[in-house]
Amino acid sequence: MASEFKKKMFWRAVVAEFLAMSLFIFISIGSALGFSFPVVGNKTSTRSQDNVKVSLAFGLSIATMAQSVGHISGAHLNPAVTLGLLLSCQISIFKALMYIIAQCLGAVVATAILSGVTSSLPDNLLGLNSLSEGINAGQGLGIEIIATFQLVLCVLATTDRRRTDVSGSAPLAIGLSVALGHLLAIDYTGCGINPARSFGSALIANNFENHWV
């Protein structure tokens, strides 16, 4: 721990996690807040959200950030991914802790900026994750476990240095996994497969109902 604390590269990686997380949250949640208002019978109808657009925004922004800072920090950008790499003995406990703090701070800062930018939007919950009608906490937890598991599995599998059969772009594969998780979970829980992303919205919106899910 002491040796890592003194290394410039270590703090460079922590800062990279913070900056990349901030950009990721601003872009992805910003896309989710951009609702459309379909016109039905020459009248504006209730606003609707394009789940495909939001899923692609989350996936492509993760892929872009992973490609941009992956060589500096590994581009975890998700406490669940950091925990997975910790349990697989690929990073130290201290680095995992600092990464998670940086990720949460990045999410809070980006969501706070979005709060100011989108303050005129009606019923603006800043991407707050919540259970859909008809979904209880246990069901929501099951969805979150499955969606998060496939993401962490993808990260561990595509970044495994022992593999020689992996071809193509690892950041793109991880981005597609994020998009896949959102396509599954948005309609059930809003997709909170990234605890830092969920924390930022909950803190700025001051709403922690079912946040543990």
| CATH code of the domain in which 188 resides | 1.20.1080.10
Residue 42 is assigned to a structural domain of this protein: no
With respect to residue 200, please indicate whether it lies within any of the assigned structural domains.
yes
Distance CA 68, CA 73 (A): 10
Establish if 1 belongs to a structural domain. Answer: no
Count Cβ atoms below 10 Å from residue 45 Cβ, excluding itself: 11
Question: Could you give the number of structural domains in the chain?
Answer: 1
* Average pLDDT of every residue of the chain: 88
* pLDDT for the residue 42: 59
Residue 17 lies in a domain: yes
Say what the pLDDT of residue 45 is: 54
Q: Say which residue, 167 or 116, is predicted with more confidence.
A: 116
> For residues 19 and 164, which has the higher predicted lDDT (pLDDT)?
19
Q: Answer whether residue 80 shows pLDDT above 90.
A: yes
| Count of alpha carbons within 13 angstroms of residue 66, beta-carbon side | 23
Per DSSP, the three-state class of 147 is helix
Tell me the residue range of the domain where 22 lies: 8-37+49-205
* High-pLDDT (> 70) share of the chain, %: 90
Could you report the per-residue pLDDT of 19-47, keeping only the tens digit for each? 999 999 999 998 888 765 555 555 555 56
